[in-house]
Amino acid sequence: MQPHSPLHGLEGLKHMESAIVPPIYDPLLADRDERVTTEDAYRLVLRLAREEGVLVGPSGGAALAASLRVAEEIDRGIIVTVFPDGGDRYLSERFWTGSK
């Protein structure tokens, strides 16, 4: 999973086509490449907080967005994702005042 565009608001995540790519990165290791918009990530941060009581940052919202896309495509399976950061660092960000 990576940001949809080079101009994104997902701190800590790299848009690989426009980033300095670390030498250890091997694009062939991933089964797929999911792109997530900043808006989708923010929307899911709010949803996780409101509906599940889980406080994550925007990269966690992006991870959930990619996981939900995979879940829509399979009939059966287990999907595991990691929420890379907590949301406490982002409590003063404007996306918290978004729509419900």
pTM: 0.84
**Residue whose structure tokens are 């086509």:** 17
Asked if 86 and 55 count as a contact pair (C-beta separation under 8 A), the reply is yes
Question: Which domains can be identified in the chain, with CATH numbers?
Answer: 2-97 (3.40.50.1100)
At 63 the pLDDT is 95
- For every one of its 100 residues, what pLDDT tens digit does the chain have, with 9 covering 90 and above? 999 999 898 888 888 888 888 899 898 998 899 999 999 999 999 999 999 999 999 999 999 999 999 999 999 999 999 998 888 888 878 777 765 4
Type of residue found at 12 = G
SS (H, E, C) the chain: CEECCCCCCCCCCCCCCCCCCCCCCCHHHCCCCCEECHHHHHHHHHHHHHHHCCCECHHHHHHHHHHHHHHHHCCCCCCCCCCCCECHHHCCCHHHHCCC
| Span 41-55, pLDDT tens digits | 999 999 999 999 999
Q: Is 45 exposed, middle or buried (0-12, 13-18, 19+ CB in 10 A)?
A: buried
